Amino acid sequence: MHPLLVSRARLGTYLLGWVPIALLLAGIARSQGWNWLEATSLALPLCLLGALLFLGTWYLCRAMPLQNTAEGLASQSAAWGTAALLMGGLWAGLAWLLARLLALLPGLGALPQRVQIALPVITGLGILLYLASVALSYLMLAQARALEAERKGAELQLLAQESELKALRAQLNPHFLFNSLNSLSALTAVDPVRAREMCVLLSEFLRRSLGLGERRLVALREELDLARAYLAIEQIRFGSRLRLALQVDPATEPALLPTLLLQPLVENAIKHGIAALPEGGTLVLTTELVEGHVILRVENPRDPDAPTPQGLGLGLRQVRQRLLGRFGSRARFEATSLEETHRVTLVFPLETEP
């Protein structure tokens, strides 16, 4: 459908654009000795006919996209030049027919003779208006293609994010699940009560992770609940080797962030940090609200002499990409490895559900 016909507002704006053209045509007629009645009686209906007639250029432009080669542009220019001559002549012919009809009204009897004399000027103006409508049509087509490309780009980005999220759900640390099941199997024989507790915690964690994985954005409160469920299981596995220091500012809990953004950070802190130390260590998780931005930190001890574990950089890179993909330049991601500490800091604006 023609883009100017999709809404009354667009069509109205287009028709209003012809009002100055009608005034210009009336002014030209006045300069040739016409009176105001004759000039306006012809200019207004003639421009209305031109507005409707030249709408058809959009369909021709859509069927004849602009060529990128010199030869193609030359052939198209010749075609549009011929079409402009024909349409200019047609518009002048409509002016002559309109003058004959208007001559039946009082005071307009001399209009056909005046139009007969002004036919070359009317034809020239029609050619210029037709070429202008061609340029406008190509401009609208280019804008439509740009919007379509932007829409497809957004769809592809959304599909990529969904694929990434599905992959993230699929890889929710299978080592953690494997180790948890092994620990559960061992506890069943020596401590049935703790084994039953671990089984309940594991099912709760899996239920929460699957529930969050179906959404693109979740409140930080829900991410923290999932992290707590995960850490409760890990504390049964590691015992006194895993110590926790959670300091959560309640004002940050409603903040929205991409789902499962915190979980990989907590997993990395244990898998690549605390689990590698014989004495274990303390996982520090803090959130605070500073000038409308949430600052989230995950900190864990590390062995300064150990090589960088494989997979650590990939997980952090995914978190960084998803954070910046959601908030853009309003967010910040920092990962620093000090001598005996590894710290990840996320900074993002506080946005809540409406």
Final residue of a structural domain among 130, 157, 184? 157
Measured distance CA(287)–CA(255) in Å, rounded: 11
What digits encode the pLDDT tens for the residues 197-236? 878 877 777 776 666 656 778 899 999 988 888 888 888 8
Concatenating the DSSP letter of every residue in 311-343 gives: THHHHHHHHHHHHHHHHGGG-EEEEEE-SSEEE
Is residue 165 included in any domain, yes or no? no
Please provide the size of the chain in residues.
Answer: 354
Against a cut of 0.75, is the pTM above it? no
Instruction: List residues bridging with 244 in a β-sheet.
Output: 283
Shared domain check, 128 and 255: no
β-sheet bridge partners, residue 245: 284
Choice between 27 and 73, residue whose per-residue pLDDT is larger = 27
Residues 176 and 142 in one domain: no
Q: How far apart are CA 279 and CA 260, in angstroms?
A: 29
- Token digits of residue 319: 């978190």
Fill in the amino acid letter for 24: L
Q: Which residues pair with 10 in a beta bridge?
A: none
User: Which residue type sits at 283?
Assistant: L
Give the number of domains in the chain: 2
- Please classify residue 306 by burial: count the beta carbons closer than 10 Å to its beta carbon, then call 0-12 exposed, 13-18 middle and 19+ buried: exposed
Task: Report if residue 163 sits inside a domain.
Answer: no
- Return the percentage of the chain with pLDDT > 70, whole number: 87
* 214 within domain boundaries: yes
Tell me the CATH number at 287.
Answer: 3.30.565.10
Q: pLDDT tens digit string along 93-148?
A: 999 999 999 988 888 888 999 999 989 999 999 999 999 999 988 898 888 888 88
| DSSP annotation of 294 | E
Instruction: Please name the helix (run of DSSP H) or strand (run of DSSP E) that holds residue 181, with its range, or none.
Output: helix 174-190
pLDDT of residue 346: 95
What's residue 158's pLDDT? 61
3-state per-residue secondary structure call for 78-113: HHHHHHHHHHHHHHHHHHHHHHHHHCCCCCCCCHHH
Q: How confident is the model over 49-102, as pLDDT tens digits?
A: 999 888 888 888 888 888 777 777 788 888 888 889 999 999 899 999 999 999
Domain span holding position 242 = 171-349
- 188 vs 33: CA distance, rounded Å: 108
pLDDT, tens only, 146-200: 888 888 776 666 666 566 555 555 555 555 566 667 767 767 777 787 778 878 8
Please check whether residue 180 is in contact with residue 197, taking contact to mean a CB–CB distance below 8 angstroms: no
In this prediction, residue 7 has a pLDDT band, given cuts at 50, 70 and 90, of confident
